[in-house]
């Protein structure tokens, strides 16, 4: 478990890694923020047009400067960095492989995550 979250994991607990740092988590968070705040986001138009959001939409709109998309990407990077830093600090692995939808995020996202992990690790 990484932190408190606004929805429970499929396993029944709250705050599991995948519910805070995954493509699904990003989409749920962006939709949650759109539904529970007055924030205006270009993601709302995408959601209305396509009937769904994809992680790629969020990364693309963050790159275009959309505040909600940027907040969602930064939140995902933070929790991914916390999870990776925890693994590093306990196990000191040589490699950590990232799979799933977030793995397609691109260099700017992983540069952000690497930077955060660097500040959280002991070594």
Q: CB under 5 A: which stretch of 14-22, 33-41, 48-56, 110-118 binds Zn ion?
A: 14-22
Cβ atoms of 111 and 78 within 8 Å: the answer is: no
Q: Decide whether 10 or 35 has the Cβ nearer to Zn ion.
A: 10
Question: Of 44, 1, 46, 39, which is closest to residue 21 (Cα–Cα)?
Answer: 1
In DSSP terms, 14 is beta-bridged to 8
Q: Which of 2, 3, 9, 63 binds Zn ion (CB under 5 A)?
A: 9
Task: Let me know if 60 is exposed, middle or buried by CB neighbors in 10 A (0-12, 13-18, 19+).
Answer: middle
From 9-17, 23-31, 60-68, 77-85, give the range in contact with Zn ion by CB under 5 A: 9-17
Which one of 4, 6, 7, 11 is in contact with Zn ion (CB under 5 A)?
11
Q: Does 4 bind Zn ion (CB under 5 A)?
A: no
Provide the minimum distance between the beta carbon of 79 and Zn ion in the complex, in angstroms, as a whole number.
14
Among 1-9, 32-40, 58-66, 80-88, the segment contacting Zn ion (CB under 5 A) = 1-9
**How many whole angstroms separate alpha carbon 108 and alpha carbon 106?**
6
Q: Which residues are 8's β-sheet partners?
A: 14
Q: Which residues bind Zn ion (CB under 5 A)?
A: 9, 11, 13, 16
């Amino acid at each position: 478990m990484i932190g408190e979250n606004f929805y429970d994991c499929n396993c029944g607990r709250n705050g599991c890694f995948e519910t805070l740092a995954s493509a699904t988590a990003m989409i749920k968070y962006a939709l949650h923020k759109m539904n529970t705040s007055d924030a205006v986001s270009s993601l709302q138009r995408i959601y209305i047009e396509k009937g769904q959001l994809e992680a790629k939409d969020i990364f693309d709109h963050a790159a275009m400067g959309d505040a909600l998309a940027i907040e969602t990407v930064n939140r995902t990077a933070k929790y991914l960095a916390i999870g990776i830093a925890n693994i590093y600090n306990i196990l000191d692995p040589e490699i950590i492989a990232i799979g799933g939808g977030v793995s397609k995020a691109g260099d700017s996202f992983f540069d952000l995550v690497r930077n955060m992990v660097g500040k959280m690790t002991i070594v």
